[in-house]
A and B are shown apart, each in its own frame.
Chain A
């Protein structure tokens, strides 16, 4: 999807259509996504749009003036030095920052055309559609099964077989099924760090979101587990919109189609991944990706 084609029609459509139209359009688009192998035409409409978005912790800015569109059924990676606001931006998308006192936002951040920071946004629905995997694995102190079934149960799924089916599917999708299938009643806290992280991915998948936010999902994992998760991301790409924060350049290059480079709370450059890594437009980006950042 060439970049220059995108903004005009989509923005036009957005500005003219009513909210419900957009909703319908997006819904249609994503429903058709699993059926067709190639990216469908409806994907021209970005799932996540950020327009001049800033977030402040008290008076200090976490991210400032971010403008970027994230497209459906792609993997977008966010890279940048530590403390540059990658997590902050990611967490803004499903409003996880609400838990932190004195947080203030400015600008526009939309998911499916709905302003996330609008008063009427239903957080439950938002978060069910925008799943998240955290940097540090955070399984609940419950059994493995209950961890995975947590999301489906929230959605009102009570039937045993259906839950079992979802749990199995999710664990298989997260490539951890073979390790835990014998003892789903075991406490999730008894798993290793890598297993816990895959469990958290499985847990996020079990909710069947459309967007998956991953905040350095592999930072606690060994290379083999990392490889598995990268494969997993590759598989999920056809059906999910994935945003991944990573410190690992190779990983970003391997898994993502598009990459965004953040620095000091600002978006420096956002483009196709090959372009960012081979021919970045900004000097800062080049310095960072070639390791000259200092």
Chain B
């Protein structure tokens, strides 16, 4: 082959090998990037006043006096929104207005009875009030502006009557004026559309039983059962998203027949053109800051807080505790077992069939799929061993830890074995030559010298245990539940929680920061452990070399 081609091929090959590493790096960035970017949002974000309210109510954590002042400020800015909506509602909310008119009528009657008036005067007043009520109701349900004007004028004619002065009936007249005022500004033929559109706006702003809103429930609204709908947007990014939904109405439209539907956006303000509500769409974006008062927040309590409403609020405290518990209990079993096994393999065992069987078992154990460990843990620890020992045969931390201990045993043995093997033979010889027994030599000389290496193994097993999910699916992990009281309770863990939130319902999708925050916590925990192990290992390596 010609030299040029060979050279080119060689370069291409070199480039390809480099590209493979670059590819790996890209994969790493692609995997970790979104998690770090979005997960950090669980801790660092613009927290609104609603967030602080939520923290006060759910976690009892606030500077109350300052918060009250802030809330008052915010409410002042919000009041404008409430007023606009109320005014607009007067024009279109027939049911409310009618019932109000009826209510006034009834109360007026009651008032009259207590006021001790002559009976014919009473009858007449009642009669007039009833007529006013009917006129108003007729006007409310009418779409004819002329009739409305006439009826309202008729009602208002009664305004100066002495018998209504200072009574509840005066509210008839304000009701009538407000209604006329509103009715003049809207196209009455579309009042039903307005009703629907208004409802949407109200849900976006104040939320509903299912949906959290931008500002949260209005001050006089009744309390909602779920924490998640009892507060407005707690985060500025969420507020921005809701604001966007407020300003833009989205609709799925068919552009061309037969084609898939596409999303179309139109300004929502157009729906309320020329009505009392139109200024709202300018006011809210302009004053959102005052209404929500966002502030950069470091929510470090994410790592200790429990969650509310399937991770809508709160953090991953119990998950971290559960992970640590499982890990620590597992390490209690696997570290002594692993170190002693390694010591035996290095110091005592001589080559032969027994050694071969031991080695083969360790290798086999390392290759068993993690889900099979889950099956084994369920069949052996939970269903077989626990009843034998008098425990309740249920999935719990102890079972999960034991299962994971068996799973990590090979990791621990291999790491410790290597650590013990790399202790210079001269240390051992020095000790033996002084008349120390092998046991003594191991305990006083070999083990201390191997300790950093063994620690590396311990940390690696730790990170393995903390990250495994499949083996604890049936042996001790749950998605929801109380914080465990003992090792005989099941627990939430970061790993299982990450799974649950990834495949979880719509609710989890509404809080991507908490979704990603959970998995980021897990990854950071594990990578930090690994980094410590790597540093430790390189330091040991250097020390042994420098010696």
Contacts and interface: CB of A to CB of B under 8 A. Distances in A.
A101 B433 contact: no
Interface stretch (A112-120, A137-145, A271-279): A137-145
A241 interface: no
A174 interface: no
B444 A150 contact: yes
Contact of A131 (B429, B434, B436, B440): B434
Contacts of B448: 141
A138 B449 contact: no
A93 B547 CA distance: 28
A128 B434 contact: yes
Contact of A150 (B350, B351, B434, B449): B434
Given A140-B445, A150-B444, A154-B440, A99 B433 contact: no
A127 B429 contact: no
B435 A127 contact: yes
Nearest to B426: A138
A12 interface: no
B430 A140 contact: yes
Contacts of B428: 99
A6 interface: no
A132 B429 CA distance: 9
A200 B449 CA distance: 18
Nearest to A209: B435
B433 A131 contact: yes
The prevalent SS among residues of A at the interface is helix
Interface string A79-90: 000000000000
B434 A151 contact: yes
Contacts of B350: 101
Nearest to B436: A154
A136 interface: yes
Contacts of A151: 434-435
A219 to B, nearest CB: 14
Contact of A94 (B351, B424, B433, B440): B433
A127 B369 CA distance: 49
B547 A124 contact: no
B435 A128 contact: yes
A96 B429 contact: yes
Contact of B435 (A124, A139, A189, A200): A124
B529 interface: no
A204 to B, nearest CB: 7
A96 B434 CA distance: 11
A290 interface: no
A197 to B, nearest CB: 12
B425 interface: yes
A124 B433 contact: no
B432 A203 contact: no
A16 interface: no
A103 to B, nearest CB: 11
Interface string B529-547: 0000000000000000001
Nearest to A152: B434
The prevalent SS among residues of B at the interface is helix
Contacts of B430: 134, 138-140, 200, 203
A204 B433 contact: yes
Interface string A130-166: 0110101011110000000011001100000000000
A36 interface: no
Interface in B425-459: 425-437, 440, 444-445, 448-449
Contacts of B426: 134, 136, 138
B449 A141 contact: yes
Given A101-B350, A150-B444, A127 B434 contact: yes
A155 B435 CA distance: 9
Given A99-B428, A99-B429, A138-B429, A204 B449 contact: no
Contacts of A101: 350-351
B547 A189 contact: yes
B434 A154 contact: yes
Contacts of B547: 189
A132 B448 CA distance: 22
Contact of A207 (B424, B435, B445): B435
A159 B428 CA distance: 26
A151 B433 CA distance: 9
Nearest to B435: A128
A131 B437 CA distance: 14
A125 interface: yes
Nearest to B424: A138
Nearest to A141: B449
A148 B142 CA distance: 109
Nearest to B351: A101
A38 to B, nearest CB: 30
Contacts of B440: 154
Nearest to B430: A138
Interface string B338-355: 000000000000110000
Contacts of A204: 433-434
Nearest to B547: A189
B45 to A, nearest CB: 49
A96 B351 contact: no
A97 to B, nearest CB: 10
Contact of A132 (B424, B425, B433): B433
B437 to A, nearest CB: 5
Interface in B393-433: 424-433
A128 B433 CA distance: 7
A102 to B, nearest CB: 8
A141 B432 CA distance: 15
A140 B427 contact: yes
A136 B547 CA distance: 12
The list of the 3 closest CB pairs from A to B, nearest first, reads A128-B435, A138-B426, A132-B433
Given A127-B432, A204-B433, A204-B434, 7 more contacts: A96-B432, A99-B425, A127-B435, A136-B426, A138-B427, A140-B430, A154-B436
26 contacts: A96-B429, A99-B425, A99-B429, A101-B350, A123-B432, A123-B437, A124-B437, A125-B435, A127-B433, A127-B434, A131-B434, A132-B429, A134-B433, A138-B427, A138-B429, A140-B430, A140-B431, A141-B427, A141-B448, A150-B444, A151-B435, A154-B440, A189-B547, A200-B430, A203-B430, A207-B435
Interface of A: 94, 96, 99, 101, 123-129, 131-132, 134, 136, 138-141, 150-151, 154-155, 189, 200, 203-204, 207
Interface of B: 350-351, 424-437, 440, 444-445, 448-449, 547
